[in-house]
Amino acid sequence: MFKSLREDIESIQRRDPAARSTLEVLLCYPGLHALFWYRIAHALWQSGFVVLARFVSHVARLVTGIEIHPGATIGRRLFIDHGMGVVIGETAVIGDDVTLYQGVTLGGTALHKGKRHPTLEDGVVVGSGAMILGPHTIGQGARIGANAVVIGEVPKGVTMVGIPARIVMRRPKEGEKDFVAYGLPDEEMPDPLARAVEALQRQLADTAKRIDELEGKADRADAAAPYEDRARAGRG
């Protein structure tokens, strides 16, 4: 338990420049507190004390604003930054070195008792307000942008944004940094909707230019027509 706590504190200090000391992280980071209580609740859950486990997780939610079902499976060094409103469902599986920001939902869409929540592989970053719904796998190192809604499988290392989420960036090249805050590696990251609007604007501009050219040809033809009529009349 205490080894995991030390690892969690060190991982927070690596990923959050606002974390100035071990004492500050220990006292002031609700994500760390939520993980501590989750581990107790998870041990109770596995031992068959289901109601007690749910009660412990309920109290932790009241204190931290983070809801982690005791049946969820969480790896090492999970960092829940800010944390308010985070929901992690019963059959969710989270790998090592995952980062979740405030308002993230790892939810289920089915009513059966089996696997119905997502699996996040190692190094995944999920931005604030994002929702990952259903028993889908988010590949290692993938980045889910803020407020995205993921309803399908996500390949390794890609960046997803939008509703429903779409791939907008390639996998990072070797040597690029693995962790990026809020899952956004670049302030200039393209918005798929904005790109679609820009494409339509370009098409409209091309169409307007073509119409102007055709109208110009028609005007020149109209201007030339009376002269040609007079010329024919003179020959007659």
For residue range 147-194, what is the model confidence (pLDDT) as tens digits?
Answer: 999 999 999 999 999 889 888 876 655 555 555 565 555 555 555 566
pLDDT one-digit tens code per residue, 3-18: 788 888 999 998 888 8
pTM exceeding the 0.75 threshold for the entire prediction: no
Of the candidates 81, 73, 76, 104, which has an alpha carbon nearest to the alpha carbon of residue 8?
A: 76
Q: What is the pLDDT of residue 219?
A: 74
Pick the residue with more confidence: 15 or 234?
15
123: tokens are 């190094």
Q: What is the pLDDT of residues 43-74, one digit of tens each?
A: 999 999 999 999 999 999 999 999 999 999 99
